[in-house]
Structures are given as structure tokens and as C-alpha cells.
């Protein structure tokens, strides 16, 4: 009994912010939730973590997920209706996670872009290499009045392994950074967690997103919110912009 007392699992804590701006909960539009029951399960978990305002961010990626405001209108409306019927205490909105590819550039040219409040625009690099002309693209987006936000920079191994100084270069040129809660949870591996902490400690992170796709992600975040790591890490969250959206 004494052994059980000293090794009792920690209680799951709530997140120190109330807004998630990166998750894949719109059913059937990308590699996230496949259906309404899954979406409702994910939303229930997010509410338990203290999230109240949720910005769904379906992928918009050439060839695989060429999503536009038109393609997600019906499934997003269905999700909103279902969440209301279930009585979930969450406020739902959407934007997109835009891969920097030719499809994105065509959508940009025809002004078919959905950003977050404040014109924050979530963009994603390919995982193989940095897009050609990255700095010019960031500059062009800023000229159009957007505030570009790079999704999960800690997951791009071409930066994390050999070119950490590239983070400061891009951040200093006006690119905001959003790291994944899953990275801090160690879901992707030790290197991703270490890099996410490096960015936080060097004041280069403006947003933390769940990037929630599926039940395995839920389990990783649950464990993290009950861990000693979370109790330490959350002290680094005091400069986040999440709740300004």
C-alpha cells in the first residue's frame, strides 16, 4: 500500500491556453478524422484538456488533399451541427494548413485563401527539403498582408539535424513558428522534442498546436499532460499567441 501511495500516477493537467489552431478534425477531408464519431471523440478529449476555441486546419496539398473552402464547407458544417447536438462546449472555426507547393500558389493567385484571425497563415514545408525561394515567398506573403506561420518546424530534419541556425534566419525575417504538442510529448521521437524545447527556450515559438489526427495522438497527449515533463515545459508557454486569435 505504501508503494502504491508513492507511485500513484499523476493527475492529467489542463493546457495553459484555451485555443488550438492546428488540428485535423474535419471528417473525411485529409489524413485526419475519417468520420463524425471520430471527430466527436477528438473534440471531447480536447475539451477535457481545457481547449474551448478550436480552429480546424485541413491539409491543402497538391495531388493528395487539394482542399479549398468549397470542398470542406459541407463536412465542416456537419461537424458543427454534430458537436452542437452532442452539447460539446467548444467554439469551432476552420482555416487550412497550406503545403508550399504549386497548388498553394494557384490558390494564392486567385485569392482563395483562408487564414486565421489577424491574417496569420499556416504554411507547411515539404518534409524532404526546404522549398526553393523560401525567403522570397515569406516576403511575398507579408507583402500581401499575411503573417506566415510555419507549422511544426521541429519536424523538418534538414533543419533540426544540421542547420539549427536556419531557424533564427527565418524567424528574424518575420516567419512565425508553431510547434506541435505531440513533439513535446515525445510522440515523434527524442530529437523532435529536443528541437521543440530549443525553439521555445530561444523565444522563437508563437503558437503551440495539437496537430491532432487520431486516437494514438490522444493517448500521447494524455500521457504528456500527466507527466513531469509537462509540469516543466508549460513554464515556457507564457509568450504564446494562441489565445489572441
pLDDT digits 0-9 by tens, 2-38: 444 444 557 889 999 999 999 999 999 999 999 999 9
Whether residue 200 is predicted with pLDDT greater than 70 in this model: the reply is yes
Q: Provide the pLDDT for residue 6.
A: 47
pLDDT (0 to 100) of residue 9: 57
Band the pLDDT of 170: cuts 50, 70, 90.
very high
pLDDT at 1 (0 to 100): 43
Q: Which residue has the higher pLDDT, 51 or 10?
A: 51
- Does the pLDDT at position 75 exceed 90? yes
DSSP 29: S
Q: How confident is the model at residue 78 (pLDDT cuts 50, 70, 90)?
A: very high
- Least confidently predicted of 66-70, 86-90, 130-134, 216-220: 130-134
Q: From CA 155, how far away is CA 168, in angstroms rounded?
A: 16
Q: In sequence order, which ranges of the chain are alpha helices (DSSP H)?
A: 2-6, 36-48, 69-86, 102-109, 134-143, 157-160, 165-172, 181-184, 190-201, 215-225, 228-233
Q: What global pTM score does this model have? A: 0.94
Dist CA 83 CA 51 (whole Å): 14
Q: Is the pLDDT of residue 215 over 90?
A: yes
Q: What percent of the chain has pLDDT over 70?
A: 96
Q: Who's near 139: CB < 8 A, 6+ residues apart?
A: 173, 174
Amino acid at each position: 500500500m505504501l508503494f502504491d501511495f508513492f507511485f500513484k500516477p499523476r493527475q492529467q493537467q489542463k493546457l495553459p491556453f484555451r485555443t488550438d489552431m492546428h488540428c485535423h478534425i474535419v471528417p473525411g477531408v485529409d489524413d485526419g478524422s475519417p468520420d463524425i464519431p471520430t471527430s466527436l471523440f477528438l473534440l471531447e478529449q480536447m475539451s477535457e484538456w481545457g481547449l474551448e476555441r478550436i480552429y480546424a486546419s485541413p491539409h491543402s496539398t497538391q495531388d493528395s488533399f487539394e482542399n479549398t473552402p468549397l470542398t470542406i464547407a459541407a463536412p465542416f458544417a456537419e461537424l458543427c451541427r454534430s458537436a452542437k447536438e452532442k452539447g460539446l462546449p467548444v467554439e469551432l472555426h476552420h482555416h487550412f494548413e497550406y503545403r508550399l507547393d504549386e497548388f498553394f500558389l494557384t490558390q494564392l493567385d486567385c485569392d482563395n485563401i483562408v487564414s486565421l484571425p489577424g491574417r496569420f497563415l499556416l504554411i507547411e514545408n515539404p518534409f524532404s527539403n526546404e522549398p526553393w525561394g523560401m525567403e522570397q515567398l515569406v516576403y511575398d506573403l507579408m507583402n500581401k498582408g499575411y503573417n506566415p506561420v510555419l507549422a511544426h518546424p521541429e519536424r523538418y530534419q534538414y533543419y533540426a539535424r544540421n542547420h539549427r541556425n536556419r531557424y533564427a534566419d527565418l524567424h528574424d525575417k518575420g516567419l512565425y513558428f508553431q510547434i506541435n504538442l505531440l513533439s513535446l510529448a515525445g510522440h515523434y521521437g527524442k530529437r523532435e522534442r529536443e528541437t521543440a524545447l530549443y525553439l521555445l527556450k530561444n523565444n522563437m515559438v508563437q503558437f503551440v498546436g495539437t496537430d491532432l489526427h487520431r486516437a494514438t495522438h490522444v493517448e500521447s497527449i494524455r500521457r504528456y499532460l500527466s507527466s513531469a515533463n509537462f509540469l516543466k515545459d508549460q513554464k515556457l508557454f507564457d509568450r504564446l499567441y494562441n489565445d489572441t486569435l
